[in-house]
Amino acid sequence: MLILVKRRVSVVKSLLSSYIVKILVLLAVSALYFFVPVIKINVNQGFFILSNMDVDLVRGYILGFGIWAPIVSFLLMIFQSVIAPLPAFLITFANAGLFGWVYGAILSWSSAMVGAGLCFYIARFFGRGAVEKLTSRTALENVDQFFKQYGKYAIIIARLLPFISFDIVSYAAGLTSMGFWPFFIATGIGQLPATIVYSYIGGMLTGTTKTFVFGLLILFAVSVFIVLIKQLWKDKNEEVKKSA
C-alpha cells in the first residue's frame, strides 16, 4: 500500500512539474510579445505582410533588413510555421528572387525544416488543446483522417500537396505516436521537390504569372499524388498476396 501511495505521489509530482513548466513557457513567450516592443512590432508586421498574399511585399520586407535579410527570412519562415496557416510559399518565392533559386531553395528548405520540427514539439509538449487554438479543430480533424487513410505515407504525400497545410500536418504528427526522426526525414524528402520547383520559378512571379505558376504547381502535385497512390495500391496488393 505504501509503495502504491508513493507511486501515485510521484506521478502527481511529475504531472504538476510538467504543468508548471508549460505555464512558465507560455508566460515567457507572452511577456516577450507584450513587453518587448521590437518583438511585438515585428510579429504584427510579419503577420500582416504574409496575410496579404503579396510576393513583392514579402520580398521588400525581407530586403529592408540589408545584410540581416537571410536571418530575417529564416525567422519569418519559422514564424509562419507556428502561426498556421500563413502561406510558406510566399517566403520561398521571395527567397528565390532575393538570393537566387539555389541559395533561396536551401534557405527555404532548411528554415521550413526547423519550423516543422518546432511545430512537432509544440504539439507533443502542449497537447491537442493548444494546437487547436493555434490552428483549428476542424482542420486538425481533417488531417487526422488523412493520417488514418494513408498511414506511413501520409507525411510524404501531405508535403507534396500544396493545398494541405504544411504546418497543421506538423502539429498533427506531434500528436501521434510517430517518432521525431521518421517525421523529420519524411518531411525533408517530401518538401524538397516542391521547394526546388517553387524556388526555380520564384523569380518569374509577376502579374498573371502567379496564376499560371499556381496551376503548374497543382498539376505537379497531382502527378506526384497519382504515383504515390499507385505505390500504395501495389503495396496493399503485395500484402494481400503474402497473407493469402
Q: Which three cell numbers stand for residue 180?
A: 521525431
More confident residue, 184 or 151: 184
Please state the rounded mean pLDDT for residues 192-198.
82
Report pLDDT for 165: 79
Rounded CA-CA distance 124/146 in Å is 19
Report pLDDT for 9: 44
The ranges assigned to domains in the chain are 9-51, 53-243
> Residues 214-228: pLDDT tens digits?
655 655 666 666 666
pLDDT-derived band of residue 69, with 50, 70 and 90 as boundaries?
very high
**pLDDT above 90 for 47:** no
- Please say whether the beta carbons of 64 and 72 come within 8 A: no
Pick from 136, 137, 143, 147: nearest CA to 85: 136
Pick from 162, 131, 164: nearest CA to 147: 164
Please state the rounded mean pLDDT for residues 20-40.
61
- Please say whether the beta carbons of 131 and 123 come within 8 A: yes
